[in-house]
Amino acid sequence: MVLDPTKHADWEIAEEAESRMKTVYELGEQLGLEKEELLPHGHYVAKLDYRKILTRLADKPQGKYIDVTAITPTPLGEGKSTCAMGLVQGLGKRQKSVIGAIRQPSGGPTMNIKGSAAGGGLAQCIPLTPFSLGLTGDINAIVNAHNLAMVALTSRMQHECNYTDEILAKRGLKRLDIHPKKVEMNWVMDFCAQSLRHITIGLGGKMDGMTMQSSFAIAVSSEIMAILSVARDLKDMRERMGKIVVGYTRQDKPVTTEDLDVAGAMTAWMVEALNPNLLQTLEGQPVLVHAGPFANIAIGQSSVLADRIGLKLADYNVTESGFGADIGFEKFWNLKCRFSGLKPNCAVVVATIRALKCHGGAPIPVPGKPMPTEYASENVGWVEEGCANLVHHIETVKKAGINPVVCINAFYTDTDAEIKVVRRLAEAAGARVALSRHWEHGGDGALEFADAVVDACEEPNDFKFLYELDTPLGERIELIAKEVYGADGVSYSPEARTKLDRMEKDPDLKEMGTCMVKSHLSLTHDPVRKGVPTGWTLPIRDILTYKGAGFVVPVAGAISLMPGTASDPAYRRIDVDVETGKVKGVF
């Protein structure tokens, strides 16, 4: 029995489908895995030994590589994960060998407003509860590895404050002389906790640590999460882990985790996390779930390892980039593909009539509140006006030399006239267009979508980066701002300008990628500006250095690395059936 998504919640649909899931052994056989390559975590979740798989399949040709991105979303999201799962299911219905590669959800959104990232309706990744609540412990490993660095940092500062150089030397330590106001790292946890954005630590006596200002960020913003996303193997991860800059000395010299003798122990927490997780769609196609950084405050991509495995195990690998093409796709294009050496065959731009109306003048939806009534009736004018945002993102994909496919992620409330105008304008912009009803009908509703993607993958493309690594940092930031966001230019705070000048003289930073931090709700830094704003300047207020991940991170606007929990969060509706132990209410 397949439940009707118009009458049942996502968790109810997932729970019913889980009664007929394939075991991980069946999925392993489907993928042609050897016994020792499959590392079961129960009957329906497993890790994959990436080293054994990639070594065995080193000479096998790669499959087609597809990225799923979107237009600028509303605060409710526009269904990229749902479309990714729908596309995998649609390709499966067409008897294609296909695998999905998506990010692991953070506990912050899962327990807040946005919910899990499993998809929705009849296009989901299951089993839902393990997927949404910790999975195999990768994020917990990141939290422990990250906070261990902070333990090493703060204890070292305390000991240097309390002991002479002679005593430190007897303990095998050399004074690092870290400036308490130049600590770059913070603490992390995997919830949205606005009350921890600004804290004071070290209160008490001299044995309680050095008193100083500190903060918490959400776990998925950790540089270690970014390292998990881009690392090619354990050796690469270990090298990157030692390059993490935790702060600066009083002489302005960087202090790394290697300087603190903690990088090896941090990596020890991450050994098992480096193996991607194997789950499945509602219709039994395999899905790799690995890494989970947000795209507005981090790289926003599932792991390079998951994609490398997927491209060897299947003829089509469907991966997903966070938020809109200005955020997630830009980082997929200029960061992930640069690190991995992989070249995509096609990029999907997801659009909804709801989001197009929002960009065309409809009231902005507010998470946790009823959808404005204006969205319940046809308004072709709003949709047509909002298509400017869609066309902007199509042009961004085309600048990368990749074939764009627009997926109209259909809601059952959309009208034929509204859909028709999207088709006309997207095709005029040079994209293939497919209407997909995977949310309502699963893989059967995604056949047009799957066919358009297969067609696009057969067409040659001319993939190219927006910038080369020898391009000065200031020029890169301006290129992204102008070519991807549509800004007139860039401005810098005094602090950001000082950092930019210093970084452009640092030879170590010249070979690093540029990972922008910006609002995902607008092409600009201002989340309330919809459509395709003109006549604006991107303000850079800070520039962070993630030497381990290999990024320089310009921060635009007032975005925070620690989101807040809303007044009506999802955790209020999540509970457990005490008779069966099943979790209900996750969405």
**Backbone phi and psi for residue 464, each to the nearest 5 degrees, phi listed first:** -155, 150
CA–CA separation, 136 and 484 (whole Å): 36
Residue from 93, 96, 114, 530 carrying the catalytic annotation = 114
CA–CA separation, 150 and 152 (whole Å): 5
370 burial level (CB within 10 Å; 0-12, 13-18, 19+): exposed
**End-to-end CA, the chain:** 20
Catalytic residue status for 411: yes
CA 348 distance to own-chain centroid: 16
| DSSP helix/strand/coil, 69 | strand
Catalytic residue status for 399: no
Give the strands of the sheet with 537-546, arranged side by side: 489-492, 537-546, 551-556, 513-514
Residue from 295, 434, 452, 549 carrying the catalytic annotation = 295
CA–CA separation, 148 and 366 (whole Å): 38
Residue from 191, 269, 323, 333 carrying the catalytic annotation = 323
Element (H, E) at 199: strand 199-201
Catalytic residue status for 465: no
Residue from 439, 449, 536, 587 carrying the catalytic annotation = 439
C-alpha distances (whole Å) from 97 to each of 3, 94, 529 are 26, 9, 42
Q: Cβ neighbours of residue 170 under 8 Å, at least 6 residues apart?
A: none
C-alpha distances (whole Å) from 132 to each of 157, 295, 347 are 37, 18, 26
Catalytic residue status for 114: yes
- Between helix 223-230 and helix 138-162 the angle, nearest 10°, is 130
User: 10 Å Cβ neighbour count for 181?
Assistant: 10
Catalytic residue status for 103: yes
Q: Cβ neighbours of residue 129 under 8 Å, at least 6 residues apart?
A: 582, 583, 586
Catalytic residue status for 439: yes
Strands 489-492 and 537-546: parallel
CA–CA separation, 16 and 46 (whole Å): 21
Task: Give the bridge partners for 102, in sequence order.
Answer: 289
Residue from 46, 47, 70, 80 carrying the catalytic annotation = 80
- Between helix 416-428 and helix 380-399 the angle, nearest 10°, is 30
Residue from 82, 129, 154, 524 carrying the catalytic annotation = 82
Residues in the chain: 587
Placement of tokens 């990250």 in the chain: 146
Residue from 103, 308, 331, 437 carrying the catalytic annotation = 103
Catalytic residue status for 82: yes
CA–CA separation, 319 and 302 (whole Å): 7
**Is 525 in contact with 296 (CB distance < 8 Å)?**
no
- Closest by Cα among 469, 572, 484, 548 to 514: 469
Q: Cβ neighbours of residue 284 under 8 Å, at least 6 residues apart?
A: 21, 22, 27, 92
In the chain, how many H helices and how many E strands?
21, 25
CA 137 distance to own-chain centroid: 17
Catalytic residue status for 332: no
Placement of tokens 């939806």 in the chain: 365
466 burial level (CB within 10 Å; 0-12, 13-18, 19+): middle
Residue from 51, 232, 411, 465 carrying the catalytic annotation = 411
Catalytic residues: 80, 82, 103, 114, 295, 323, 411, 439
